Amino acid sequence: MAFDIVSRSWKILENELTRKKCLDVYEEAKGRTDHMIAEKRKKLKKEGRPTEPIPEDDPAKYKHAIYVMVMKLFADMERRRQKLDQRDQEERKRKRETEIEEEERVKADREWQQNFEESRQSRVNSWHDFQSGAGKSKKTKKQKHMTGMMVPPKFKPETR
């Protein structure tokens, strides 16, 4: 496990581009640490204690402060990378779900079209039967109405 970590770190540092990025992170951490020290000195000067030493005046503590800042910057970079990876993964998942929905819609449309074509002849036959039977039934209804008394239409209640 430790060997893998060291090996991966060595590969990162062998690559000039990634090595330059790591050095840039170190330089930024050093700059932020120096800025933090300057702010502490300003604060002490405002409080009237300009000669009082700050902990980062000790070289070991200064190195430790830089180390802590480097770790914070790398952690921030890693969080950003993970966040972007997660966002990218969610985007790919959403696109895949959209593709699946589109495929299902196309399949349903194709199936509906096939069923529509298969049932066409039965619909046509049904219409022909209706047309041929409709003329006879109209005449018989008219004859029934003519022979009997006129009856008002049945009341149909309104439905909502």
Of the candidates 22, 10, 6, 15, which has an alpha carbon nearest to the alpha carbon of residue 77? 22
Q: Residue 94 above 90 pLDDT?
A: yes
Residue 105's pLDDT band, with cuts at 50, 70 and 90, is: very high
Q: How far apart are alpha carbons 64 and 58 in whole angstroms?
A: 10
Cα separation, 127 vs 85, whole angstroms: 60
| Average pLDDT taken over every residue of the chain | 86
Whether 66 and 29 have beta carbons less than 8 Å apart is answered as: yes
| Residue 93 confidence (pLDDT) above 60 | yes
Cβ atoms < 10 Å from Cβ of 56: 19
pLDDT digits (tens, 9 = 90+) for 26-81: 999 999 999 999 998 898 888 888 788 888 888 899 999 999 999 999 999 999 99
